[in-house]
């Protein structure tokens, strides 16, 4: 199995494949820790002082840092190795998934029909996948979320599950659900009287961060949507394997089939930065339409540029330029408060939190953070490194 | 690359719209990719060697401690030292060639002009 894929859909890499996967986790750690810290040192000791001498001021934003740093060999090696590492992560798991393709499809079908949980899945053969997904291999994942290799195929779900297992280096937790687990625990403790009856996860991919919500609120009816048919099929089978009932649908969060005011909680994680700016606005309006009065919309994301210093903005925006995440920077340039207000949420109902990772800090730290919220992001927020915190924002309706 | 059978549609391994260019000099980006792939394959060999050592210890062929404590004879050592020099030279050949290239004969016939 890939290190963090231990459920019924786990695959069996050969020793050589497993060694390639282990190597890629280590290589990513080297790039994101050693090379990244080295690049920051070079920036602070050489590039920034040079900029300051020339301009009589420090760079004002991430774009100026980027421009100043991009000619430096440290930036070039960091970037080249990070792009390669990203692609090699997926190539390290593809042969294992490809060999297991038939078995995976059969197992997923059996789990989908099983009585381990009462979840459901709906896909639509006439569904139009938006070009922001169909025309690009987001974050260099060959096939993205939507490629289907045959009828009822789940391959891309397995590619994503096993890919992020190698990619995350443990920062997504043992079940790759640290984001959902940390945030649902936080919300439950922050708002003990809030008892959502219906929950929706938008852009759920394989539902790894949906399942924790269903566990946190076991009486709630939990729905999850994504535009990729293979990922919702896989997500359903994965949730069934965990014995957690979740209803998966192939739907676009910009315009869903659900009724007005039919959900108490609408969540997303790492979703908005993969949506074009126009789409994000539609997603927020749709969330507002779907929320019952008194309901909560909450999006886990990378922190916005305005919360970060120039270097950290550059560092996180790197993905937008080089990692097939074209909407990443436009999203991070948006003001979360303004986007919520534009969709009709009252400004006074805006919320944002920086929550410690449950996997890294433990339950007590997450609960303590309920009382100690500063609402400030720092260079540990959203970054895959020791001390990771998850940023989320949204609004009550 | 693909492990699919002849009757199956192979999975796509490459990313659409290859665009990872950072170095102005031709080929450097490819060399970075090749170096990383080589390092990965070397790691595969190291893990396989560790498996051999583990298995050898389990089967009581020899133990990891015996490997750690193994002493080459002076002749074996000298042979290995010479081989390691040659090994380093092979790996870093491009750096030697850069220096030796400076000693080119000024009368060296020029190749035809590139089209």
Q: How confident is the model at residue B115 (pLDDT cuts 50, 70, 90)?
A: confident
| DSSP, residue by residue, B41-88 | HHHHHHHHHHHHHHHHHHTTS--HHHHHH----HHHHHHHHHHHHHHH
Q: How confident is the model at residue B68 (pLDDT cuts 50, 70, 90)?
A: confident
Q: How confident is the model at residue B63 (pLDDT cuts 50, 70, 90)?
A: confident
Task: Determine the pLDDT at residue B112.
Answer: 76
- Which of the pair, B20 or A131, is modelled with greater confidence? A131
Residues A131-135: what's their mean pLDDT? 93
Based on the fold, state whether residues B63 and B79 are members of the same structural domain.
Answer: no
Residues A305-323: what's their mean pLDDT? 93
Is position B7 within any domain? no
Task: Determine the pLDDT at residue A385.
Answer: 62
- Range 45-74 of B in CB contact (< 8 A) with A: 47-48, 51
Is position B41 within any domain? yes
| DSSP, residue by residue, A210-271 | THHHHHHSTTSEEEEEES-HHHHHHHHHHHHHTT---EEEE--TTS-SSPTT-EEEEEEES-
Based on the fold, state whether residues B75 and B93 are members of the same structural domain.
Answer: yes
Task: Determine the pLDDT at residue A387.
Answer: 76
pLDDT tens for A4-46 read: 899 999 999 998 999 999 999 888 988 998 889 889 999 999 9
Task: Examine the pLDDT at B92 and tell me if it is beyond 60.
Answer: yes
pLDDT tens for A169-213 read: 888 988 999 999 999 999 999 999 999 999 999 999 999 999 999
Based on the fold, state whether residues B59 and B34 are members of the same structural domain.
Answer: yes
Task: Examine the pLDDT at A281 and tell me if it is beyond 90.
Answer: yes
- Which of A103-112, A354-363, A374-383 is predicted least confidently? A374-383
Overall number of domains in chain B: 2
Kindly report the backbone phi and psi dihedral angles of residue A396, in degrees, each rounded to the nearest multiple of 5, phi listed first: -85, 145
Query: Domain of A280: which CATH number?
Result: 3.40.50.150
Is position B36 within any domain? yes
Is position B113 within any domain? no
Nearest CA in chain B to A75: B22
Q: Which domain holds residue B84?
A: 71-103
Is position B64 within any domain? yes
Nearest CA in chain A to B46: A19
Is position B1 within any domain? no
Task: Examine the pLDDT at B1 and tell me if it is beyond 60.
Answer: no
Please give the share of chain A, as a percent, with pLDDT higher than 70. Answer: 96
Based on the fold, state whether residues B28 and B65 are members of the same structural domain.
Answer: yes
Residues A101-115: what's their mean pLDDT? 96
Q: Which residues contact A322 (CB under 8 A, 6 or more apart)?
A: A79, A82, A83, B19, B20
Task: Examine the pLDDT at B101 and tell me if it is beyond 90.
Answer: no
| DSSP, residue by residue, A12-52 | ---HHHHHHHHHHHHHHHIIIIIIHHHHHHHIIIIIHHHHH
Average pLDDT of every residue of chain B? 83
Q: Is A275 helix (H, G, I), strand (E, B) or coil?
A: coil
Task: Determine the pLDDT at residue B4.
Answer: 54
B18 touches A at CB < 8 Å: no
Residues A386-391: what's their mean pLDDT? 84
> Which residue among B3, B23, B47 places its CB closest to the CB of A76?
B23
Residues B37-54: what's their mean pLDDT? 92
Residues from A in contact with B at Cβ < 8 Å: 15-16, 18-20, 22-24, 27, 75-77, 79-81, 83-85, 87-88, 90-92, 94-95, 97-99, 101, 136-137, 140-143, 147, 149-150, 155, 159, 322, 324
Residues A260-266: what's their mean pLDDT? 98
| Kind of pairing between the strands at A389-396 and A120-122 | unpaired
Overall number of domains in chain A: 1
- Which of A130-139, A262-271, B90-99 is predicted least confidently? B90-99
Q: How confident is the model at residue A1 (pLDDT cuts 50, 70, 90)?
A: low
Residues A246, A120: contact at Cβ < 8 Å? no
Based on the fold, state whether residues B82 and B56 are members of the same structural domain.
Answer: no
ipTM above 0.85, yes or no: no
Q: In what order do the strands lie in the sheet with A221-226?
A: A120-122, A247-250, A221-226, A198-202, A263-269, A291-301, A389-396, A350-356
Is position B31 within any domain? yes
Q: Which residues contact A153 (CB under 8 A, 6 or more apart)?
A: A105, A229, A230, A233
Based on the fold, state whether residues B44 and B76 are members of the same structural domain.
Answer: no
Task: Determine the pLDDT at residue B108.
Answer: 77
Task: Examine the pLDDT at A396 and tell me if it is beyond 70.
Answer: yes
Task: Determine the pLDDT at residue A139.
Answer: 93
Nearest CA in chain B to A97: B11
Q: Which domain holds residue A202?
A: 1-397
Is position B112 within any domain? no
Q: Best mutation site among B19, B40, B41, B43 for testing chain A: the one with the most A CBs within 10 Å?
A: B40
């Amino acid at each position: 199995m890939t290190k963090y894929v231990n459920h019924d859909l786990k695959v069996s890499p050969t020793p050589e494949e497993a060694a390639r996967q282990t190597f890629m986790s280590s290589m990513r750690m080297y790039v994101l820790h050693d090379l990244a810290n080295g690049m920051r040192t070079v920036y602070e000791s050489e590039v920034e002082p040079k900029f300051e001498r020339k301009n009589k001021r420090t760079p004002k934003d991430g774009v100026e840092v980027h421009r100043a740093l991009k000619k430096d060999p440290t930036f070039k090696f960091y970037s080249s190795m990070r792009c390669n590492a990203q692609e090699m992560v997926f190539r390290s798991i593809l042969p294992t998934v490809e060999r297991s393709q038939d078995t995976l499809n059969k197992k997923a079908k059996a789990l989908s029909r099983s009585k381990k949980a009462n979840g459901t899945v709906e896909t639509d053969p006439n569904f139009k996948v938006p070009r922001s997904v169909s025309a690009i291999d987001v974050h260099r994942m060959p096939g993205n979320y939507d490629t289907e290799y045959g009828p009822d195929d789940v391959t891309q779900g397995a590619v994503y599950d096993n890919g992020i297992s190698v990619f995350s280096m443990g920062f997504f937790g043992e079940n790759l659900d640290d984001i959902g687990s940390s945030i649902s625990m936080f919300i439950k403790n922050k708002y003990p009287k809030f008892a959502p009856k219906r929950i929706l996860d938008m852009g759920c991919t394989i539902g790894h961060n949906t399942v924790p919500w269903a566990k946190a609120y076991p009486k709630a009816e939990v729905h999850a949507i994504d535009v990729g048919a293979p990922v919702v099929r896989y997500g359903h089978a994965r949730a069934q394997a965990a014995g957690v009932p979740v209803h998966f649908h192939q739907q676009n969060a910009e315009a869903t089939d659900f009724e007005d005011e039919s959900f108490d909680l609408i969540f997303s994680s790492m979703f908005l930065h993969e949506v074009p700016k126009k789409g994000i606005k539609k997603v927020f309006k749709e969330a507002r339409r779907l929320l019952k009065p008194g309901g909560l919309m909450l999006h886990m994301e990378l922190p916005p540029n305005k919360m970060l210093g120039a270097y950290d903005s550059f560092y996180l925006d790197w993905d937008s330029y080089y990692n097939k995440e074209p909407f990443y920077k436009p999203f991070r340039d948006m003001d979360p408060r303004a986007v919520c207000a534009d969709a009709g949420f009252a400004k006074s109902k805006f919320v944002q939190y920086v929550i410690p990772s449950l996997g890294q800090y433990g339950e007590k730290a997450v609960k303590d953070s309920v009382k100690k919220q500063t609402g400030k992001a720092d260079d540990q927020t959203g970054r895959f490194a020791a001390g990771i915190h998850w940023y989320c924002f949204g609004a009550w309706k | 690359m693909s492990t699919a059978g002849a009757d199956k549609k192979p999975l796509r391994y490459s990313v659409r719209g290859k665009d990872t260019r950072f170095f102005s000099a031709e080929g450097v980006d490819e060399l970075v990719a090749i170096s990383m792939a080589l390092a990965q394959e070397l790691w595969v060999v190291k893990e396989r060697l560790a498996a051999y050592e583990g298995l050898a210890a389990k089967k009581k062929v020899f133990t990891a401690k015996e490997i750690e404590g193994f002493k080459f004879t002076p002749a074996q050592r000298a042979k290995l030292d010479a081989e390691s020099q040659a090994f380093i030279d092979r790996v870093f050949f491009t750096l030697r060639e850069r220096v030796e290239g400076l000693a080119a004969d000024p009368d060296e016939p020029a190749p035809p002009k590139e089209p």
